A and B are shown apart, each in its own frame.
Chain A
Amino acid sequence: MARIFAYIVHKNGVADDSAAELASAARKIDAAQAPVAVVTGWGGELDAVCESLCGGFGEVWKIGHEVLAYPNAELVRQALAKVLPAGAIVLVPHAHFATDLSPGLSIRLNAAYVPDVLGIDGIVTSDGGATLKLVRQEFGGQVNAHVRCDISSGAVLTIRPGAFQPAESAAAGGTIIDQSSEVGVLSARRRYLETIQPEAGAVDITKYPVLVSVGRGIEDPENIPIAQELADALGGAVSCSRPVVDAKWLEKSRQVGSSGQTVKPKVYLACGISGSFQHLAGLKGNPFIVAINKNPKAPIFRVADVGIVADILEFLPELTTAIRQQ
C-alpha cells in the first residue's frame, strides 16, 4: 500500500482545522497506516505547526525554505514534487489553495487527480492494480457521483472541508523529519506581492440576527427591494449568494460564503439560493435556516430546518405583508 500524505494548510503558526479531517480521510483509505503530515513554511511558525501535528500523525515531514514563508502554490508544488516518493497518495484540503496547487501537482507526480472528495468507500484490488472508490458531487450539489481512481502510480485528492469528522482518539506520537535539504533551489515565475483586505460595505451583515439572503432566484436587480422590505419588517439585513454579486446586483460585502463573509445570525432565510457548499461554509453558529426555492430538488432543502417550495417573487411580498400585520 502506498504511503498517504496530508498537506497541512497553516497560518500564524497554527494548523488549519482541515489537518485532523485529512488524517481521518487517510485512515478511510488505509486504516493500517499512520498518515504522514507534510508541512511547508519557514522559521518559528513552521516549527510550531510541525510540533502541534505530532499527536495526530505518524510522521511530520517538515519542508522549511525562506521562499516558502508565504504559501505560493507554484513554489510549494516544486518542493512537493522533489520530496514526495513515487506512488504517494496526497490529500489536500479543498479550498482556494488546493485549486492552485493540486491539478499541476498530479501532473508533476504522474498521479491520478480527484478534486473535492466527499466520501471514501475503500480500495478495490484486481489484477490490473488498485482503484480507490470515491464520492463526489456534480451540478452544484444536485447529484452525487461514484468515482473510481486508479492509484497504481499514486493520487492527489482534494478533500471537502467538513466531509470527514476528526478522529476522537488522536495519539499517533509522530516524529518530525526535516526534509528541507531535499528541496534544493526553488524559483517561481509567479511572485506573491500582497493581500488586499475587502472594503467594508455600507451594511455590515455580520451584525444582524436575521438575514434575508437572496440568490439567483431573485432574477433581476429590480426585485431586490422585495427582499429589503422583508428584511426591514424582520429587523434584519439583506445578504446574498455569489451569483448576485457576480451580476453586480449587490456589493461583495453582502455575500455569504467561503469567498465572502462568515455570518452567525439566529435566523437565515435562504431565498432562491441553491445551497452550494461554498455558500454554506459562510454560515456558522447553527442558525435556524428557512429555505424558499421553487426547485424542490435544490440542495438547500437538505440542510434547511424548514422549507417552502415557492417562487420567492410571489412568496416574499405576501410574507412581508403578513408580518407587518402582526
Chain B
Amino acid sequence: MEILVCARRVPDTSENEIELNSAGDDIERDDLVYSVNEPDNYAVEEALRIVEETGGMVTVVTVGGEDDEEILRREMAMGAKSGVLLSDDSFAGTDGRGIAAILAAFVKRGHYELILTGVQAEDGAAQVGGMLAALLDYPFASLVNSIEVQHGKLKIGREIEGGAREMNEIDLPCVLSIQTGINEPRYVGMRGIRQVASLPIPTFGAADLGVNGNASAKKAKVWRTDYFMPPLGKGAEILEGSAEDQIAKLIELLRSKGGLQ
C-alpha cells in the first residue's frame, strides 16, 4: 500500500516552558527546542507496520521551510522511504484550511491509498486531516487507535469517551488521524539519522503544485493576533519553604480533607 504521512515540526512542550516574549504578543521563541509533533511518530510507525504487512512504501510530507527538513529525516530514519517538503514564501501565515489545500494539491500528484496524520499538533486544532479528506472527497476518521487491513478497505477502531472503542469499516483511499498510544514508535538513534542525512529531499513550491491564492496567507479565514497568559482561575495555594515544611503542611491538609486517616 502506498501511504502518505503528513507531519509537522513543533516546539516540544515536554522540553519547554512556554512563556510570553517581552512584547507580550508572541511566545518567547529564542532557545525553544523543536521536534517532530509527537503524535506524528505514531502515524509513521503505523504506516511502517502496514507496509511491512502489505508491501508498498511510506512517504512523509510537511509544509514549511528548510528548518523542517530535520523532521522529515527523522521519520526517514524510522523507515519512511522518502520525505517531501512543500515550501513557498506565499505559504507563510496560512491557516489550517490553507495547509490542507497545499497537501491536497500534493496528494493529487501521486497515488496514495492511505493518508495519515497525527491526532493533533501543539495548537490542539486537530483540523488538517479532516479538511484534507473533504478537499479530496475521501472518507475520514479521527482518533484512530487500531487498523486492520482488509481487501480494499480497513477495519479501524476510534477512541471515544470513557475508554470505549468505536469500530468502523472505511473504504480506501481514505484519510485517518492517528491517536497516540496506537503502537510504540520505534527508537531512532543518531546513527539512523546519519544514514539518511545526505538523501535528497524533493521540494515543491506553489507553482509546482498549482495551488492558487486559496493557500496564501492573504486569504486565510482564521488568524491569531496575539498570545496571552491564561487567567489564574482560583489558583493553587503554593506551599513554600523547605521540603520538610512543605510536607508538614501537606500532611496537615491531607488529614483535614480526608486523604489521611
Q: List which A150-190 residues lie within 8 A (CB) of chain B.
A: 150, 153, 155, 188-190
> Main secondary structure on chain B at its contact with chain A?
mixed
A137 B230 Cβ-Cβ under 8 A: yes
**Within the complex, what minimum Cβ distance (angstroms) separates B18 from chain A?**
4
A252 B237 Cβ-Cβ under 8 A: no
B126 A146 Cβ-Cβ under 8 A: no
**Within the complex, what minimum Cβ distance (angstroms) separates B219 from chain A?**
9
B238 A261 Cβ-Cβ under 8 A: no
B162 A234 Cβ-Cβ under 8 A: no
Cα distance A96–B148 in the bound complex, in angstroms: 21
Cα distance A236–B254 in the bound complex, in angstroms: 12
Q: Does B207 contact A (CB under 8 A)?
A: no
Given A100-B142, A141-B230, A242-B181, decide whether A113 and B222 contact each other with a Cβ distance below 8 A: yes
Give the residues in chain B near A204, CB-CB below 8 Å: none
Which listed residue (B20, B127, B128, B130) contacts A143, Cβ 8 A? B20
Q: Does A126 contact B (CB under 8 A)?
A: no
Cα distance A179–B246 in the bound complex, in angstroms: 62
A326 B260 Cβ-Cβ under 8 A: yes
**Within the complex, what minimum Cβ distance (angstroms) separates B241 from chain A?**
10
Give the residues in chain A near B228, CB-CB below 8 Å: 143-146
A148 B223 Cβ-Cβ under 8 A: yes
B140 A100 Cβ-Cβ under 8 A: yes
Cα distance A295–B18 in the bound complex, in angstroms: 10
Give the residues in chain B near A247, CB-CB below 8 Å: 184
B165 A297 Cβ-Cβ under 8 A: no
Given A107-B134, A189-B139, A194-B167, decide whether A302 and B230 contact each other with a Cβ distance below 8 A: yes
Cα distance A235–B261 in the bound complex, in angstroms: 9
Q: List which A56-92 residues lie within 8 A (CB) of chain B.
A: 72-74
Name B16's closest neighbour in chain A (CB-CB).
A139
A188 B139 Cβ-Cβ under 8 A: yes
A104 B17 Cβ-Cβ under 8 A: no
Tier of interface size on chain A: 35 or more
Cα distance A112–B220 in the bound complex, in angstroms: 9
Cα distance A258–B166 in the bound complex, in angstroms: 15
Give the residues in chain B near A302, CB-CB below 8 Å: 230, 232-236
A301 B174 Cβ-Cβ under 8 A: no
Indicate with 1 or 0, residue by residue over B137-166, a CB within 8 angstroms of chain A CB atoms.
011111100000000000101111111111
Q: Does B122 contact A (CB under 8 A)?
A: yes
A267 B258 Cβ-Cβ under 8 A: yes
Q: Does B247 contact A (CB under 8 A)?
A: yes
Cα distance A309–B17 in the bound complex, in angstroms: 14
Give the residues in chain B near A235, CB-CB below 8 Å: 261
A143 B227 Cβ-Cβ under 8 A: yes
Cα distance A209–B167 in the bound complex, in angstroms: 34
Q: Does B208 contact A (CB under 8 A)?
A: no
Give the residues in chain B near A102, CB-CB below 8 Å: 130
Given A192-B166, A258-B161, decide whether A113 and B131 contact each other with a Cβ distance below 8 A: yes
A195 B163 Cβ-Cβ under 8 A: no
Contact stretch, chosen from A29-37, A46-54, A315-323: A315-323
Q: Does A197 contact B (CB under 8 A)?
A: yes
A139 B235 Cβ-Cβ under 8 A: no
Q: Does B177 contact A (CB under 8 A)?
A: yes
Given contact pairs A107-B134, A143-B27, a sample of 9 additional A-B residue pairs in the complex whose CB atoms are under 8 Å apart: A99-B126, A99-B143, A139-B13, A139-B18, A142-B13, A144-B228, A150-B221, A291-B236, A306-B236
